[in-house]
Structure 1
């Protein structure tokens, strides 16, 4: 009898558990389909990449790596050679670094030393690696952007056959193969997964929302809904998780690696992980009075209190927004209301 080993993939919906027979890669029909949720990560050159933005690509390939590892160096070089062969076909290749010990600057130095041109996505908060269920370096994920499903997961050596199948619109025969070489990637938060359901909405979640989100998410505010109760937050929790993972919210885009900023409205890494893990645990209510109820009835001021009503208001021309379809970027032209040089306060 062949020995068995088990793998559990943690997703936003729960845990998918399935087993592998040693030496017997599962066939496509045997493997539960794993989805890749949207994310935005910055690479080692400081360029941001949002996964779903690349939905036009015929396939996307991610490979995990760590700095200073001989296995990562060898597999990264191997993947870069493969990428060169698929460049004309529009396939996108990325390296994914979820190792907490690796910094962006260190990854840039390593890329220069190794002659790597593939973007190294820095998963500094490990949320992407957690969602993918990353186990170790050198693990390749071939993603089908038509469905955002992982069509193949395994070593680089089998990725070409999997990639060719995806490009041909065919199922991957050997869609999941265990990667046994190289270093394991440590995800400390996984050891605390059982505690995520005990994250306190009253003491931990609501204070973050009150400090970083409510100023816009008020009745009449610029936010699309008012955060004035747990029920509202719970209902919008999938959207909140997505906008946090893609870094669209809060809309504060200063690079946290460079300098310190006053009135920083961005989420800290700890706040980000707390919110995402709480939502992935089902956004439990817990005990205590709802702090966000204090926002019920609050209406956003028409103009910022520290500035007051503006001296000049410039109206944009009317534009009819269609009910459906794609709207190209609009370049609105308005007349300059100032006849001479004028100092603007805000």
Structure 2
């Protein structure tokens, strides 16, 4: 072993400390100790997540501001560089650090995807200070190869990245228009108040699931719990893991999807970055928030379907449970509303119920058809009241002699339990004018190997007027994204719903 003098070792340690201080300067300015994962939609509604580029050598990102004097020339040279390095494993994108909005961004007709930094939170996190600033990042290690301008030094750094010889972050000074972080600056001077600003956001967006006995993996039921989980909360907000069931906010609308406004995101993130100050309050709003008791919201149902008792083990991945439930009805019943009451909300991932004939199973006519009309009662979603009132004059018909077929999906949480979920049915006294049905549309396909993007489509032609009241995106573990469109007889196409980052754990519908 080579001997090193104490003086030499101390000098090396001091040098390393100096380098660390230099490399962490940007993070310190952004009140962060590291650059974490992040996810954004671009101006076409496509989903981009830094860690999802880990099959590539690097991701290059340039901060964009249209009003900056030489922005056009910078983008042109940057895009040309992108063409040069794309085949060598480096992707290039732009970052809308000013939060322009979708319509303004699309009007720019840029040569590269423009990532929509709603609330400027990603720009802040990355410590971007100037328009035209470029970051080249390692998606596998979530680290920064290069920070600087788009000059020749960028090309040199990219060449080293491709060669695998760049071991230290390259930092190059940059001149350009300053990016104004007015909201961040205001929150740095006066951090958001926990009791009056932060807690209400958490209550409105998180506590349907993150309560004792809820499907969330932990309860946010006090300031202390929120403080303890704040680093994780910050992470999942920035990479869009939470809230679940996110859709493209610029395409269609559904109350079933989740989303936190950019103003609320800024409040939460900046409060966490400020150290999550407790502030002053007499009663903790999170401790005072009452967990919703299980009750029949619409009153006692006309008929209660008792689901089977399912014993759920403490660990493991469970197959679906399929159960048929016979009904005692000797005459047709029109269902105007339903409600699920889960036996154990901490393990029930989802539940789907169809009306089926005596000889049918859960899949019914879907088993042998790529497009079929079915009687769908409702689906259970974690974190909701799961009360469904059909539109006036509309309902689900249960013909006499038919039954319900139910599909249960459970997750384990470390504790064995028994779930026995109830389904309350509310009937109409008179036959309803219209029947609500679902059109189950799919297709048969084979996924080729080594194909990360394999587009598929399925459609159904309606031969009569219909009213669409809901859409269900379902692709299990195979799907990455999904878009619903409707084409009118005149050929006009309207986008109804877009799920840019499909996650089977949280099915949007």
TM-score above 0.5, yes or no: yes
Contact map agreement 2:246 2:257 (CA 8 A) in 1: no
Of 80-89 and 232-241, deviating more is 80-89
Pick the aligned partner of 2:103 from 105, 113, 134.
Answer: 105
The equivalent residue for 2:43 is 44
Query: Deviation digits for residues 22-74 of structure 1, max 9, x if unmatched?
Result: xxxxxxxxxxxx84221111101111211122222211111111235552222
Q: State the distance in 1 between where 2:70 and 2:107 align.
A: 17
CA separation of 1:279 and 1:310: change in aligned 2, threshold 3 A: farther
Q: Who is 2:213 aligned against?
A: 220
Question: In proportion to residue count, which structure has more helix?
Answer: 1
Does the aligned pair in 2 maintain the 1:201–1:286 contact within 8 Å?
yes
How far does residue 262 in structure 1 lie from its aligned partner after superposition?
Answer: 4.8
Query: Does 2:127 match 1:127?
Result: no
* Matched positions, count: 306
CA distance, structure 1, for counterparts of residue 117 and residue 103 of structure 2: 13
8 Å contact kept, 1:316–1:332: no
TM-superposition CA deviations, 1:132-156 (whole Å, max 9, x none): 2212221111112343222211111
Tell me the TM-score normalised to structure 2 length: 0.53
Is residue 2:195 matched to residue 1:195?
A: no
Q: Which secondary structure does the structure 1 equivalent of 2:118 belong to?
A: coil
Q: How does 1:176-325 map to 2 (within 5 A)?
A: 176-180=171-175, 182-196=176-190, 198-258=191-251, 262=255, 265-288=258-281, 289-295=283-289, 298=291, 301=294, 321=316
2:362 to 328, 337, 340: 337
Contact 2:63 2:94 in 1 (8 A): yes
Structure 1 distance, partners of 2:305, 2:36, is 42
Instruction: Tell me if the contact between 2:74 and 2:132 (Cα under 8 Å) persists in the aligned partners.
Output: yes
Q: Within 5 Å, which residues of 2 pair with 1:163-182? A: 163-171=158-166, 175-180=170-175, 182=176
Residue 444 of structure 2 is matched in structure 1 by none
8 Å Cα contact 1:152-1:162 kept in structure 2: yes
Task: Indicate conservation of the 8 Å contact 2:88/2:162, yes or no.
Answer: no
Partner in structure 2 of residue 142 of structure 1: 136
Aligned to 1:29: none
Work out the CA distance in 2 between the residues paired with 1:306 and 1:245: 38
1:225 & 1:214 partners in 2: Cα distance? 10
Cα offset for 1:271? 0.9
Matched, 1:162 2:162: no
1:23 match? none
Contact 1:10 1:130 in 2 (8 A): no
**In 2, distance between residues paired with 1:105 and 1:189?**
23
- Which structure: greater strand fraction? 2
| Alpha-carbon distance in 2 for matches of 1:145, 1:163 | 14
Task: Describe the SS at the equivalent of 1:49.
Answer: strand
Contact kept? 2:43, 2:115, Cα under 8 Å: yes
TM-score (norm: length of structure 1): 0.76
Provide the rounded CA distance (Å) in 1 between the counterparts of 2:75 and 2:293.
51
CA RMSD of aligned residues (A): 3.5
Displaced runs of 4+ in structure 1, greater than 4 A? 10-13, 258-265, 298-301, 303-318, 330-335, 338-341
Change in 2 beyond 3 A, CA 1:155/1:228: same
SS in 2 for 1:94: strand
1:89–1:10 Cα change, 3 Å: closer
Using CA pairs under 8 Å that are at least 6 residues apart, name the structure with larger relative contact order, 1 or 2. 1
Look up the SS of the partner of 2:276 in the other structure. coil
**Cα distance in 2 for residues equivalent to 1:202 and 1:70:** 44
Q: Is the 8 A contact 2:63 2:97 kept in 1?
A: yes
